[in-house]
């Protein structure tokens, strides 16, 4: 069965991710769009740098055109946030993005981005899945060739980079960056984000770029901008005495940030830095949206300035929804997704990297120094995620145990609350917390812990693992 996960459908190419299955998903999306009576507005189609990316995108276009839905297909590989932004200036019914984001090279994926230019909420993906089920049982895919679609004026190539970058100039003060004369190293990790940060910063910074060519194997690594995957960027930042290292994942919707001394700045820390930047430097006021697994330091900051921190389940679709409905000025998740008010409600690694560059230009000091100033005001918290593999049988047993899991204490601290918004989250008396969350697709548990010291963090991890037999 083809299922949409937290961010679209992903599968191994030639196994489940085949041209036939892509056509079925495209037909299901076409049926959904026709159901909404907006088919005449057309659909944007974008794709990343993976193997056969253009061919899969064209096949989606042929199905859309076969359903009399005009096609606006990107002329080159295009980051997810740029594909989403193109919906707005094309006034399209939505977009289909061909990407497996930061997954390994053998994977590909497909996601539908509705007309509001943010991730599809569950009600939409569930309806598309219903259409998929019907098509697998008895349906028929309608398609015409690309040549015929062009003849019938149902097929256009678009190049959204310039309009997208111009939209960022309304958010980012490029003159402030220019005054700082920063030296920046950029690593798009062989992905669809190649050329975007470089184009925006080329006249205001000294820019050097790594891995800025297409490699469907991503250099033999994962196109995920974590500390372990950015060793070359860290090395280059230190070697060239740069002020910043900026990385993007395979489809440009997640970020990785390296400080001038080669330190990886975690997404939790970036969110804290940028919420503070918006409140203090850019004089924007408003609530913050974060997932259940993301740092509570954001809550402390929001509370001090008279705003609310809105907690959501894991998945940027929920963050995007809060940004649309609650007016949050920033929303993000510990896995590296972020957006801000005035932009699309879709995670955008390019925007995040540029906001960090703007902050670095204004502060005139390393990011860690600014973070230390913030922690002096709000306290320091230590966050870590553990991924623990299990067997399928063990996973079932742990899930059964979790239903009743409500210890009186963890690491000697009273447990004062238990939330089950997404997984099981235990709140401790000193503000520390622990979230135990099962993977939806494999025998795996993730344990997220945030505490006031590394020692308490490790003690909470150890006790949870022992009590749940993980």
Q: Is 273 within 8 Å of 295 (Cβ atoms)? A: no
Q: What is the DSSP string of 273-341?
A: HHHHIIIIIS-----EEEETTS-THHHHHHHHTT--EEEE-SSHHHHHHHHHHH--SEEEETTTEEEET
Instruction: Supply the pLDDT for residue 332.
Output: 97
Instruction: Supply the pLDDT for residue 288.
Output: 98
Instruction: Supply the pLDDT for residue 392.
Output: 85
* DSSP single-letter state for residue 28: H
Instruction: Supply the pLDDT for residue 454.
Output: 96
Q: What is the DSSP string of 69-92?
A: --EEEESS---HHHHHHHHHHHT-
Strands 255-258 and 244-248: antiparallel
Boundaries of every domain in the chain = 9-161, 169-378, 382-467
Spatial separation of the C-alpha atoms in residues 122 and 317, rounded to whole Å: 8
Side-chain-side CA neighbours of residue 432 (13 Å): 27
| Contacts within 8 Å (CB) and 24+ apart, 308-316 | 311/421, 312/421, 313/421, 313/422, 314/6, 314/422, 314/423, 314/437, 315/6, 315/7, 315/119, 315/291, 316/7, 316/118, 316/119, 316/346, 316/347
Spatial separation of the C-alpha atoms in residues 266 and 258, rounded to whole Å: 9
Handedness of CA 132, 137, 138, 142 (dihedral sign): positive
Instruction: Supply the pLDDT for residue 468.
Output: 87
Topology classification of domain 382-467 = TATA-Binding Protein (3.30.310)
**What is the separation of C-alpha 340 from the centre of its chain, rounded to a whole number of angstroms?**
13
Structure tokens at 250: 């395979």
Which residue in this structure is represented by tokens 């089950």?
Answer: 420
Q: What is the assigned CATH class of domain 9-161? A: alpha beta
Helices (H), 364-433: 367-378, 392-404
Ordered mean pLDDT values, 10 residues apiece, the chain (470 residues): 83 95 97 97 98 98 98 98 97 97 94 96 94 91 97 97 97 96 98 98 97 96 96 98 98 98 98 98 97 97 97 95 95 96 96 98 98 96 93 89 93 96 95 92 89 96 90
9-161 and 169-378: identical CATH topology: yes
Strands 433-438 and 413-419: unpaired
Distances (CA, A) of 467 to 199, 304, 391, 402, 437: 52, 36, 17, 10, 15
Q: According to the CATH classification, is domain 169-378 in 3.40.120.10?
A: yes
Instruction: Supply the pLDDT for residue 470.
Output: 82
Instruction: Supply the pLDDT for residue 5.
Output: 77
Distances (CA, A) of 320 to 9, 72, 302, 349, 393: 19, 24, 18, 15, 35
pTM for the model stands at 0.96
Dihedral over alpha carbons 286, 288, 289, 290 (to 10 degrees): 180
């Amino acid at each position: 069965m083809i299922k949409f996960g937290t961010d679209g459908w992903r599968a191994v190419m030639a196994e489940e991710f085949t041209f036939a299955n892509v056509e079925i998903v495209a037909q299901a999306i076409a049926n959904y769009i026709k159901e909404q009576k907006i088919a005449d507005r057309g659909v944007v189609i974008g794709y990343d740098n993976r193997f056969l990316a253009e061919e899969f995108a064209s096949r989606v276009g042929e199905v859309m055109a076969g359903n009399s839905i005009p096609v606006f297909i990107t002329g080159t590989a295009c980051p997810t946030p740029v594909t989403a932004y193109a919906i707005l200036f094309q006034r399209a019914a939505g977009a289909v993005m061909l990407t497996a984001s930061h997954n390994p090279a053998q994977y590909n994926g497909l996601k539908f981005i509705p007309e509001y230019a943010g991730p599809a909420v569950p009600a939409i993906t569930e309806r598309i899945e219903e259409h998929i089920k019907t098509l697998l049982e008895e349906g028929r895919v309608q398609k015409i060739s690309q040549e015929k679609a062009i003849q019938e004026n149902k097929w256009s190539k678009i190049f959204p980079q310039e309009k997208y970058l111009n939209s960022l100039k309304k958010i980012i003060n490029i003159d402030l960056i220019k005054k700082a004369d920063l030296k920046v190293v950029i690593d798009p990790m062989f992905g669809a984000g190649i050329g975007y940060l470089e184009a925006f910063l080329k006249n205001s910074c000294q820019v050097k770029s790594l891995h800025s060519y297409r490699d469907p194997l991503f250099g033999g690594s994962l196109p995920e901008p974590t500390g372990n995957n950015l060793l070359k960027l860290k090395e280059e930042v230190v070697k060239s005495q740069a002020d910043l290292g900026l990385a993007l994942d395979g489809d440009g919707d997640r970020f990785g940030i390296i400080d001038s001394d080669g330190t990886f700045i975690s997404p939790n820390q970036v969110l804290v830095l940028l919420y503070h930047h918006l409140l203090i430097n850019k004089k924007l006021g408003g609530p913050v949206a974060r997932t259940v697994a993301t740092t509570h330091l954001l809550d402390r900051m929001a509370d001090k300035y008279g705003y609310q921190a809105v907690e959501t389940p894991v998945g940027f679709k929920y963050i995007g929804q809060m940004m649309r409905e609650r007016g949050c000025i920033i929303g993000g998740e510990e896995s590296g997704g972020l957006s801000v008010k005035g932009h699309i409600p879709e995670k955008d690694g390019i925007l995040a990297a540029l906001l960090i560059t703007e902050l670095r230009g204004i502060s005139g000091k390393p990011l860690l120094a600014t973070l230390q100033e913030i922690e002096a005001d709000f306290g320091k918290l230590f966050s870590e995620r553990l991924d623990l593999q299990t067997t399928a049988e063990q996973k079932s047993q742990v899930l059964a145990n979790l239903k009743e899991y409500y210890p009186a204490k963890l690491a000697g601290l009273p447990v004062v609350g238990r939330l089950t918004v997404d997984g099981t989250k235990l709140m401790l008396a000193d503000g520390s917390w622990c979230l135990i969350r099962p993977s939806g697709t494999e025998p795996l548990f993730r344990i997220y812990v945030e505490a006031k010291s590394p020692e308490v963090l490790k003690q909470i991890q150890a006790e949870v693992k022992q009590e749940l037999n993980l």
